[in-house]
Amino acid sequence: MSGLFGCFCLDEKKDGLGMDQEGDNTILAIDLYNKGTVAQAKGNLEEAINFYKQSISLDGENFKAFYNLGSALQETAAGLQQAAAAAGAGVGAGFDRARRRTVLDACAAYEQAIDLKEDHVLAHYNLGYIRHQLGQHARALHHLEEAARLDPADVDTFIMIGNILRETRRFPEAVERYRAAAAIDGGCVMALYNLANTLHDLRRFDEAIKYFLQALDLEPNLTHAHFNLGISYQAKQDIENAFQAYSRAAKLDPGFEDARAAAQRMKRKLDGRQHSQSTSSYYSQNDRQNASGEYNRDQDSDPGKQNGGRG
């Protein structure tokens, strides 16, 4: 969920005479705000931030300016995070510090927007998203739950709430939120996938398998859904289906070593099981022959030794 407010349009003025200083400041604040939206739309974030700050200094009651300031700061923080990752250890630490300062400034801007307009759903959502990034789960949930209350049809909000609840091991509550997301949009792959993962956490493997399969019906190339489906099958000792699921994951991503190794383990189990079943069938046949008097002991006096001691 994201959003950027567009430009203000001034009402037509019947008479411009007698304009006081406050009116002049309001017009200038709107002009600066509009320049900020244009700069942000072009990706000129630093310029946009400066325009929003100038606009706010002239009109501190414009919740849209605070929201857009938070949005521009959040975009800037995302860019700093990418720069930190690209720079690597050492150099990246400086970007991380700058990013954290920028994130905190974004939080302050969103909070101010909410103070001015309590039902600002986008500010609540983005503030919840940032608080989650900062590891502030309780504060994140507060704002995301408020966003869900204000916009109960937004799938992303329920998924984000579910993610935080799952991270904090509140699995039954997470299941409720993912189910809510799936009820809003039955074609939302991530709602179904995350629901399946959380049901697996609760060891409700049959239900987990059901929702993994639903997710894969919608997105057949979702590698980790195949892999996690394999884990659920394996938990049920369904080795054949586990092998098939792991194999599909490994085929979709040849570099997915965990999937390849898991498929190999399942293959060995299957081979061992077939080997064991073959031996059991052999002895069972001999037992039936002995019981009916048809078995010729001279032809096969010691089947165990002849078959390498299997049994």
Supply the pLDDT for residue 93: 63
- Dihedral through CA 206, CA 207, CA 208, CA 209, nearest 10? 50
Asked if residue 272 is part of any domain, the answer here is: no
Supply the pLDDT for residue 91: 53
Region 274-282: what's the mean pLDDT? Answer: 49
35 near 8, Cβ under 8 Å?
A: no
* Residues 246, 62: Cα–Cα separation, whole Å: 54
Summarize pLDDT for 290-301 with one digit per residue, the tens.
332 222 222 232
Q: Is the pLDDT of residue 236 over 70?
A: yes
Please report, rounded to a whole number, the percentage of residues in the chain having pLDDT higher than 70. Answer: 77
Which of the two residues, 269 and 21, has the higher pLDDT score? Answer: 269
Query: Residue 106 maps to which CATH number?
Result: 1.25.40.10
Asked if residue 56 is part of any domain, the answer here is: yes
Question: Count of CB atoms within 10 A of residue 233's CB?
Answer: 23
Q: Is the pLDDT of residue 261 over 80?
A: yes
Which of the two residues, 18 and 222, has the higher pLDDT score? Answer: 222
Asked if residue 283 is part of any domain, the answer here is: no
* Counted domains in the chain: 1
Asked if residue 158 is part of any domain, the answer here is: no
Asked if residue 74 is part of any domain, the answer here is: yes
Asked if residue 155 is part of any domain, the answer here is: no
Supply the pLDDT for residue 217: 98
Range of 44's domain?
A: 25-133
Nearest to 140 by CA among 127, 121, 155: 127
What are the structure tokens assigned to 108, written together? 């302050």
25 near 88, Cβ under 8 Å?
A: no
Which of the two residues, 200 and 98, has the higher pLDDT score? Answer: 200
- Grade residue 227 by pLDDT with cuts at 50, 70 and 90: very high
Region 251-266: what's the mean pLDDT? Answer: 97
Supply the pLDDT for residue 285: 39
- Which segments of 59-154 does DSSP mark as H helices, in order? 63-87, 91-116, 121-133, 137-150
Asked if residue 273 is part of any domain, the answer here is: no
Q: Is the pLDDT of residue 9 over 70?
A: no
What are the structure tokens assigned to 153, written together? 């049809």
Which of the two residues, 70 and 306, has the higher pLDDT score? Answer: 70
Region 232-258: what's the mean pLDDT? Answer: 97
**Residues 6 or more apart from 35 whose CB is under 8 A from it?**
51
pTM of the model: 0.77
Asked if residue 113 is part of any domain, the answer here is: yes
What are the structure tokens assigned to 29, written together? 């604040």
Summarize pLDDT for 18-68 with one digit per residue, the tens.
445 567 888 999 999 999 999 999 999 999 999 999 999 999 999 999 999
Supply the pLDDT for residue 79: 87
**Residues 6 or more apart from 185 whose CB is under 8 A from it?**
155, 191
